[in-house]
């Protein structure tokens, strides 16, 4: 299968988890991947895992210049056939622990970053391009300890619909990927014991009784980025093993 042959796709937050799985798959299917991250070690590892066609860029979504930096990189690469806004940051805590610094950090990475990236890159998208925005089932769940994170992901779902409306006349599709409990390093900010208890609690609520894999979530994103989803826009694709059906 070569769904992405000669197509140029930019993926933010591609050094681990779902983004990494997607970058490797697109690269293996002939795509020209432009992948971002901010950890030097992970960036070096990503370069080793992708072909010589790929470009790996140090880019921090929380930087006010994140969008301008990506646009500059695209100027030397040509337009984009796909854009996957996947970079994100997670933290949990009690409501009483929320302060201005915590709010600003979460919003800078998870909302302001994608907004500035989209604003800077919208003009670089080729007609018929596809955009995927990674949100989370946290936007639906109402978890007491995840109020800030959940709010940012809810904002992304709303932005997805607005962007789909704004870009539709150029035949550009915009959809939200909404992963639930996926087995990635994303929750490793938690202490090991707390994380294991949390994951066991979540799995017990799943219709499929297991966590998903990064590859399974990436497969849905790649469907949305591909021509197979040519009449899909403004939609929310939940990948959660049945978590939110109950």
Return d(Cα 220, Cα 29) in angstroms, integer: 15
Mean pLDDT of 50-73: 97
Q: Is the pLDDT of residue 187 over 80?
A: no
Label residue 163 by pLDDT band (50, 70, 90). very high
Q: Which two tokens stand for residue 156?
A: 């992304």
> Tens digits of per-residue pLDDT, 12-58?
999 999 999 999 999 999 999 999 999 999 999 999 999 999 999 99
pLDDT at 77: 67
Q: Which two tokens stand for residue 24?
A: 């490797």
Residues 6+ apart with CB under 8 A from 106: 89, 91, 148, 149, 151, 152
Tell me the average pLDDT of the chain. Answer: 93
- Judge contact between 51 and 244, C-beta under 8 A: no
How would DSSP label each residue in 43-90? HHHHHHHS-TT-EEEE--TTSTTHHHHHHHHHHTT--EEEEEE-----
Label residue 202 by pLDDT band (50, 70, 90). confident
Beta strands in the chain (DSSP E): 8-11, 32-37, 55-58, 80-85, 125-134, 173-179, 182-183, 212-213, 236-239
Q: Is 244 exposed, middle or buried (0-12, 13-18, 19+ CB in 10 A)?
A: middle
pLDDT at 214: 97
Q: Is the pLDDT of residue 198 over 80?
A: no
User: Would residue 149 show up in a list of annotated catalytic residues for this protein?
Assistant: yes
Q: Is 78 exposed, middle or buried (0-12, 13-18, 19+ CB in 10 A)?
A: exposed
What ranges do the domains of the chain cover?
A: 8-237
CATH of domain 8-237: 3.40.50.720
pLDDT above 70 coverage of the chain, percent: 93
pLDDT at 78: 78
Give pTM, 2 decimals. Answer: 0.93
Q: Which two tokens stand for residue 31?
A: 């795509």
- H or E stretch covering 154: helix 147-167
Label residue 94 by pLDDT band (50, 70, 90). confident
Q: Which two tokens stand for residue 19?
A: 């983004």
Q: Is the pLDDT of residue 209 over 90?
A: no
Catalytically annotated residue among 89, 140, 149, 237 = 149
Residue with tokens 């990506």: 70
Return d(Cα 170, Cα 168) in angstroms, integer: 5
* Backbone angle region of 21, left / alpha / beta, with phi > 0 → left and psi within -120 to 50 → alpha: alpha
């Amino acid at each position: 299968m070569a769904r992405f042959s000669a197509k140029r796709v930019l993926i933010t937050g591609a050094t681990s988890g779902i983004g990494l799985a997607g970058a490797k798959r697109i690269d293996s299917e002939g795509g020209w991947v432009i992948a971002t991250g901010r950890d030097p070690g992970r960036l070096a590892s990503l370069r080793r895992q992708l072909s010589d066609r790929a470009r790996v860029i140090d880019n921090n979504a929380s930087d006010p210049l994140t969008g301008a930096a990506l646009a500059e990189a695209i100027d030397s690469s040509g337009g984009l056939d796909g854009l996957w806004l996947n970079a994100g940051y997670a933290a949990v805590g009690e409501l009483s622990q929320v302060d201005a610094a915590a709010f600003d950090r979460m919003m800078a990475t998870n909302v302001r970053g994608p907004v500035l990236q989209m604003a800077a890159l919208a003009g670089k998208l080729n007609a018929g391009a596809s955009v995927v925005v990674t949100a989370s089932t946290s936007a639906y769940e109402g978890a007491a300890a995840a109020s800030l994170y959940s709010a940012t992901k809810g904002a992304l779902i709303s932005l997805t619909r607005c962007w789909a409306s704004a870009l539709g006349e150029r035949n550009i599709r915009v959809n939200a990927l909404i992963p639930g409990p996926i087995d990635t390093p994303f929750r490793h900010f938690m202490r090991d014991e707390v994380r294991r208890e949390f994951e066991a609690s979540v799995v017990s609520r799943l219709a499929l009784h297991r966590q998903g894999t990064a590859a399974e979530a990436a497969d849905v994103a790649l469907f949305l980025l591909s021509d197979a989803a040519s009449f899909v826009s403004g939609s929310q694709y939940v990948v959660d093993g049945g978590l939110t059906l109950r």
